[in-house]
């Protein structure tokens, strides 16, 4: 009997799903961030252990990690999985592979906007991506970028903040003062993760007509479309109709993010037609599909 385990390890949370040979879910777990680059090592290991606690012994395991940017981080991911799932065949991939495998096979391009962001698609040569690069060098249109705009507007104009935003700030930082908030941001192990939790308020404030939030949407989504345009040109999408699937917490947090993205796409590409939908199933199920591939290839 085979047990297939998939892990989706992102900058904000980690999820684990195990299925049996009949495709029945036999375990689900969740915990905190597990980004191989930005999550502190001990916290990362602890979060993965917590997410997989109680999972039955596995035969095939695929972990898809945010922050897997080179051979060293890939080896670290494999070592962590071998410790959690002794005896299993192990595979590691970048986190975007999980989302892409969870998307419909008709998907032309996947746009991920969670804590970080990137654009990817399948080609006959394999998965290709554009963007990413982390919050220091990229991640256009990411939750981090939107959350940063929210917090900067609050620090400049605290009197305009909504009560829900102030409640969130108290929960996240335990403080509403600039000194206290700034200290907590810089003291965080992963500032990008902390700020990404505020991204939804850019959407809420944009729906309320706040100028800073409307400007944030246009600026950040416009930058994300710049990356998309490069991706389309680089990989030669000649079809005038493109099916785009959206994955990540930003798109779930408020409908205005998708709505404004579609408007900007239509303005940027007047000769193309786009079908833009949110992903229908969690990316962790794409990780399960990647685990099943190992069994099929055996």
Considering the domain architecture, whether residues 67 and 11 belong to the same structural domain is answered as yes
**pLDDT (0 to 100) of residue 130:** 95
Q: Has residue 1 got a pLDDT over 60?
A: no
Displacement of CA 220 from its chain's centroid (Å): 16
Please state whether beta strands 14-20 and 25-31 pair in parallel, antiparallel, or not at all (unpaired): antiparallel
Task: Name the pTM for this structure.
Answer: 0.87
CB atoms within 10 A of CB 233: 10
- Secondary structure class of 127 (helix, strand, coil): strand
Considering the domain architecture, whether residues 50 and 177 belong to the same structural domain is answered as no
Provide the percentage of residues in the chain whose pLDDT is more than 70. Answer: 99
Phi, psi of 15 (to 5 degrees): -130, 145
Tally the domains of the chain.
2
**pLDDT (0 to 100) of residue 298:** 65
**pLDDT (0 to 100) of residue 240:** 78
Considering the domain architecture, whether residues 216 and 228 belong to the same structural domain is answered as yes
Per-residue confidence at 68, pLDDT binned at 50, 70, 90? confident
**pLDDT (0 to 100) of residue 123:** 86
**pLDDT (0 to 100) of residue 167:** 96
pLDDT single digits (tens) 78-122: 999 999 999 999 999 999 999 999 999 999 999 999 988 999 998
pLDDT single digits (tens) 188-217: 878 888 999 999 999 999 999 999 999 999
Left, alpha or beta for 207 (phi > 0: left; psi -120 to 50: alpha)? alpha
Considering the domain architecture, whether residues 110 and 182 belong to the same structural domain is answered as yes
Considering the domain architecture, whether residues 178 and 220 belong to the same structural domain is answered as yes
Residue 61 and residue 7 in contact, taking contact as beta carbons nearer than 8 Å: yes
**pLDDT (0 to 100) of residue 237:** 72
Considering the domain architecture, whether residues 112 and 238 belong to the same structural domain is answered as yes
pLDDT single digits (tens) 241-286: 899 999 999 999 999 999 999 999 999 999 999 999 999 999 999 9
Considering the domain architecture, whether residues 108 and 89 belong to the same structural domain is answered as no
Q: Which residues pair with 118 in a beta bridge?
A: 112
- Structural domain that includes position 72: 3-95+282-297
Q: Has residue 153 got a pLDDT over 80?
A: yes
CA pair distance 89, 271, nearest whole angstrom? 47
pLDDT single digits (tens) 158-191: 999 999 999 999 999 998 999 999 999 999 878 8
CATH code of 186's domain: 3.30.420.40
Distances in Å between the Cα of 79 and the Cα atoms of 76, 86, 99 are 5, 10, 23
**pLDDT (0 to 100) of residue 64:** 95
Considering the domain architecture, whether residues 21 and 33 belong to the same structural domain is answered as yes
Considering the domain architecture, whether residues 261 and 151 belong to the same structural domain is answered as yes
Considering the domain architecture, whether residues 203 and 131 belong to the same structural domain is answered as yes
Nearest to 155 by CA among 193, 115, 135, 183: 183
Q: What share of the chain is helix, strand, coil (3-state, %, to 5)?
A: 50, 20, 30
pLDDT single digits (tens) 6-45: 999 987 789 999 999 999 999 999 999 898 988 888 999 9
Contacts for 256-263 with beta carbons within 8 Å, 24 or more apart?
256/203, 256/206, 256/207, 256/217, 257/113, 257/203, 257/217, 257/221, 260/206, 260/217, 260/218, 260/221, 261/111, 261/221, 261/224, 261/225
Considering the domain architecture, whether residues 122 and 269 belong to the same structural domain is answered as yes
């Amino acid at each position: 009997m085979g047990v297939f385990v998939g892990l989706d390890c992102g900058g904000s949370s980690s999820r684990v799903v195990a299925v049996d040979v009949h495709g029945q879910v036999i375990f689900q777990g969740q915990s905190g961030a597990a980004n191989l680059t930005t999550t502190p090592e001990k916290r990362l290991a602890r979060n993965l252990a917590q997410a997989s606690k109680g999972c039955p012994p596995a035969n095939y395991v695929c972990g898809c990690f945010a922050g897997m940017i080179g051979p060293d981080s890939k080896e670290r991911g494999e070592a962590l999985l071998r410790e959690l799932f002794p005896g299993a065949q192990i595979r590691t991939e970048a986190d975007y592979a999980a989302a892409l495998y969870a998307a419909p096979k008709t998907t032309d391009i996947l746009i991920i906007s969670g804590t970080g962001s990137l654009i990817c698609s399948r080609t006959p040569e394999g998965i290709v991506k554009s963007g990413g690069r982390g919050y220091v060098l990229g991640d256009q249109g990411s939750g981090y970028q939107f959350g940063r705009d929210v917090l900067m507007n609050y620090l400049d104009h605290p009197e305009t903040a909504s009560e829900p935003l102030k409640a969130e700030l108290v929960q996240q930082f335990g403080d509403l003062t600039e000194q206290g908030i700034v200290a907590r941001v810089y003291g965080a192990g992963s500032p990008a993760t902390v700020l990404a939790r505020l991204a939804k308020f850019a959407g809420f404030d944009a729906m309320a007509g706040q100028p800073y939030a409307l400007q944030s949407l246009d600026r950040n989504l416009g930058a994300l479309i710049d990356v998309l345009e490069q991706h389309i040109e680089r990989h030669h999408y000649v079809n005038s109709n493109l099916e785009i699937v959206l994955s990540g917490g930003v798109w779930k947090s408020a409908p205005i993010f998708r709505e404004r993205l579609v408007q900007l796409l239509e303005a940027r590409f007047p000769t193309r037609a786009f079908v833009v939908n949110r992903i229908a199933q969690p990316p962790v199920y794409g990780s399960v599909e990647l685990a099943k591939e190992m069994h099929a290839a055996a």
